[in-house]
Amino acid sequence: MAHPLDHPTNDLFSFTLIDLQYHYLPSPSFTRVHKHARLFYHSRRRHGHRHHDQLLFKKQLEWTLSKMDNLIVCVTVILLFIILYRSLRRIRSRYSSPLPLGTLGWPFIGETIEFISCAYSDHPESFMDKRRRMYGKVFKSHIFGSPTIVSTDAEVSRFVLQSDAKVFIPSYPKSLTELMGKSSILLINGNLQRRVHGLIGAFFKSPHLKAQITQDMRKYVQESMESWKDNNLIYIQDETKNIGFQVLVQALISLDPGEEMEFLKDQFQEFIAGLMSLPVNIPGSRLYRSLQAKKKMVKLVQKIIQDRRNSSRSTVPKDVVDVLLNDTSAQLTDNLISDNMIDFMIPGEDSVPVLITLAIKYLSDSPIALQQLMEENMKLKKFKSQIGEPLCWSDYMSLQFTQNVITETLRMGNIIIGVMRKAMRDVEIKGYLIPKGWCVFTYFRSVHLDEYFYDWPYEFDPWRWQDRDMGTCNFTPFGGGQRLCPGLELARLEASIFLHHFVTEFRWVAEDDSIVNFPTVRMKRRMPVWVKRRRDP
C-alpha cells in the first residue's frame, strides 16, 4: 500500500499538513511539528499498530493542529493589533499638534514669487507681516520648492537653532550645496561639525589672532585711506570689501597682498556669482564656471597646505589652516581643509563689509549718533597718542557707544535675514507640528523689527542698547546654538577698527543711496560719500 505521504491529498493527516504547510510554512515551529509528526507516524507504522494507531493519531493530530490554528490566529491578531496601535499613535501624534495655519500657494512654485517680490522691496518683512496678522507668528508656506514652516516667533526659532542634527539639519538651495561640496562646514553635521566649529571658534576668539587682526586691519585701512583725496567720491562698499577680503584671507591662510591675493579675489568673485544660479552643471553654465573657479582656489590652498606640511610649524597657530593642520584627528583630511578654507569665505567675505557700510549709512542719516560716536573715538585716540601707544583690540572693543552703534546696525540691517533648516523627524514646538522632511525658516528680521521687543523698531537708536541684555532670543544676528557664527567677534572688531579710523580722520557727506535686501543685503549705489580729511588739532 502506498504511503499516505506519497499521495498526500488522499489523506486527512497529510492534507491537513499540506494545507498548513501551504499557509504557514515559513514558521520554524510549524516545521518542527511537521518533523515530529512524521517521525512518530513512521515509528508506530514500524511496530505494527498501523490501522488503530492511524485513526488515533489522526484524531490527536487534528486536535493539536486545531489548537495550533487557534494559536496562530491569536498571534496574528495580536500582531495586527500592535501594528494598528502603533500606526494610530503615529497618526494621532501627527494631528494632535496641528500644522500651523497658512497656505501652500500654487502647485510647485508655492508662494515663492510673492516672497521674492516682497524681499526686493524696502519692507521685505511685509510677506511675513501679512501672514503673521492672519495666522500668527508661526505659519506654513511653500517657498523655494519646499513646504516650509516660517517662524517669526523668537522662542520657536531658538528651539530650532538649539536642536542638533538628529532633529534639524541646514538646508540650502541646490546650487549652493553643489558649490560648497559635502564636506563644507555649512553642510556637515554631528561630531565633525562640532569639531571644526569648535577649533575655528576658539581660534577666532584667541587674543593672539585678535592682536594680529588688529594690526592687519589697521594697516589695510590706513593704506586704503591714504589713497583717498580730499573732496573725492569714494564708495564705502567697495573699499570695505577690499579691506575685509584681505583681512579674511590673512586670518585663514596668511596670504599677503600681491599677485596670489588678486588671483584669489578674482576667482572668488567668479565663484560666488554662482551661489544663486540654476543647478545645471554643464560646460559654459554659471554653476560650471563657479565650480571651475573654486577648483583653482582649492589648488592654491592645497599648495599652501603642502608647504606647511613640509616645513616645521610653530605650536602657536598663525591662521585657520594651521589650526586645522595641528588637529590630530584623522577626520580632517587635506581635501576637507582646503575645501573649507574657501567655504569659510562665503559667510565671512560679504557680511563684514556690509555691516560697516550699513553703519556708515545709518550714521550719515543720524547726525547726533555720529557726533557721539566721533567724540568717543576722538577721546580714546587722544588718550592713546598722549601715552604714545597704538590702539589694541581691547581698546577698540571698549568703545561702548561704538559697540552700541554696531549692535543697532546688526538689528536694523539684518545682514542674514534668517536660516533654513530641514526637519529630520516630526517635531512639535510650542504646540505646532513641523512634519518630517519640511523646511523651517527661522526669520530673524521680523523679530528684530518687532515693536513688542523694540520701541520704534524702524528708528536707528543706538542708545536703546545702553544697559540692555543682548543675549536674549530676541536678538540673533549671528544665529545661535551649535552653529552660532564663529566669526562674530572678528566681525565686531573689524567694524570697530574701520569706524574708529573713518570718523577720527575724515568728515564726509553721503550721497543718496538705498538699501537693497535681496538676494543679499547691500547698497544700491555702493554707498558713495564725499570725503575730506580732518584738520582738527
445 vs 501, beta carbon nearer ligand HEM: 445
127 vs 172, beta carbon nearer ligand HEM: 172
> Which three cell numbers mark 348?
565671512
391 vs 416, beta carbon nearer ligand HEM: 416
Quick one: 165 exposed, middle or buried, by C-beta within 10 A (0-12, 13-18, 19+)?
Answer: middle
Q: Which stretch binds ligand HEM (CB under 6 A): 1-9, 56-64, 475-483, 507-515?
A: 475-483
180 vs 234, beta carbon nearer ligand HEM: 180
Give which of 97, 94, 113, 96 is closest to 105, Cα–Cα. 113
> Which three cell numbers mark 408?
543697532
Residue 487 in the binding site for ligand HEM (CB under 6 A): yes
Residue 181 in the binding site for ligand HEM (CB under 6 A): no
Q: Which stretch binds ligand HEM (CB under 6 A): 42-50, 258-266, 471-479, 523-531?
A: 471-479
Q: Which residue matches cell numbers 559697540?
A: 403
5 vs 192, beta carbon nearer ligand HEM: 192
Rounded to whole angstroms, the Cα distance separating 44 from 53 reads: 7
208 vs 382, beta carbon nearer ligand HEM: 208
Residue 169 in the binding site for ligand HEM (CB under 6 A): no
Name the minimum Å distance from CB 489 to ligand HEM.
9
Helices (H), 254-333: 259-272, 286-310, 320-326
The amino acid present at 531, given as its one-letter code, is V
Which of 148, 151, 193, 504 lies at the binding interface for ligand HEM (CB under 6 A)?
Answer: 193
> Beta-carbon neighbour count of residue 459 at 10 Å?
11
> Which three cell numbers mark 55?
485513526
The amino acid present at 45, given as its one-letter code, is R
Residue 419 in the binding site for ligand HEM (CB under 6 A): yes
The amino acid present at 271, given as its one-letter code, is F
Give which of 453, 377, 448, 444 is closest to 417, Cα–Cα. 444
Rounded to whole angstroms, the Cα distance separating 417 from 422 reads: 17
Residues that bind ligand HEM (rule: CB under 6 A) add up to a total of 23
Name the minimum Å distance from CB 258 to ligand HEM.
21
- Residues of span 355-394 touching ligand HEM by CB under 6 A: 355
Rounded to whole angstroms, the Cα distance separating 320 from 228 reads: 32
110 vs 170, beta carbon nearer ligand HEM: 170
Name the minimum Å distance from CB 91 to ligand HEM.
32
Q: Which residue matches cell numbers 523698531?
A: 457
Residue 301 in the binding site for ligand HEM (CB under 6 A): no
Name the minimum Å distance from CB 161 to ligand HEM.
6
Give which of 385, 384, 411, 413 is closest to 399, Cα–Cα. 384
Residue 217 in the binding site for ligand HEM (CB under 6 A): no
Is 485 a known ligand-binding residue? Answer: yes
Are 65 and 20 contacting, i.e. CB atoms less than 8 angstroms apart? yes
373 vs 490, beta carbon nearer ligand HEM: 490
Residue 479 in the binding site for ligand HEM (CB under 6 A): yes
> Beta-carbon neighbour count of residue 526 at 10 Å?
16
Rounded to whole angstroms, the Cα distance separating 330 from 310 reads: 18
Q: What phi and psi values does residue 428 have, to the nearest 5 degrees?
A: -115, 125
Rounded to whole angstroms, the Cα distance separating 39 from 36 reads: 5
Which of 14, 141, 351, 403 lies at the binding interface for ligand HEM (CB under 6 A)?
Answer: 351
Residue 485 in the binding site for ligand HEM (CB under 6 A): yes
Measured from each CB, the residue nearest to ligand HEM is 487
Which of 490, 499, 503, 527 lies at the binding interface for ligand HEM (CB under 6 A)?
Answer: 490
Contact residues for ligand HEM, defined by CB under 6 A: 170, 185-186, 193, 197, 344, 347-348, 351-352, 355, 415-416, 419, 477-479, 483, 485-487, 490-491
Binding-site annotation: residue ranges for heme: 485
